[in-house]
Amino acid sequence: MDLNIVRIKGNLTKDPEFKHTTSGKSVCGISIATNRVYSKNGKKTTDVSYFDVEAWGAIAENCVKYLKKGNGVIVEGSLKQDRWEKHGKTQSRVKITANNVQFLFNKREKMVGQPAGTDSDGPMPTQSIA
């Protein structure tokens, strides 16, 4: 049996991009940056990786409703490789298809659409595929 499970924690590099497919399904694209800090030759070094994530249905709708650039998230899902032809050459890109997105907010951050006078503290409930 093959295994294709990914779990990453990072911050959005831009606001979510939302659209509907021609068949009416909701889809949202988010881009996440993750940092890995390590020591190299006695100096602290940070390695940044960027991941494209695609969320569907209710998860997509909640991502666009509550998230904005800079917000923290934990994404669980699977890797998907898209392939296409361009100028006679095969191109490809690997992205994450989200099965689960957990929104992370600290006391100073406010969710998009959060009522005035309310505080968020810690993770929001997980947004999962039903």
128 pLDDT band, cuts 50/70/90, is: low
Q: Which of 14-18, 45-49, 53-57, 116-120 has the lowest mean pLDDT?
A: 116-120
What's the pLDDT score for residue 127? 53
Share of the chain above pLDDT 70, in %: 81
b/e 27-55 (16+ beta carbons within 10 angstroms → b) = bbbbbbeeeeeeeeeeeeeeeeeebebbb
pLDDT digits (tens, 9 = 90+) for 88-97: 999 999 999 9
Full-prediction pTM beyond 0.75? Answer: yes
What's the pLDDT score for residue 88? 94
Structural tokens at position 35? 């940092």
Report the pLDDT averaged over residues 78-95.
94
Complete domains list, the chain, with CATH: 1-36+44-80+91-105 (2.40.50.140)
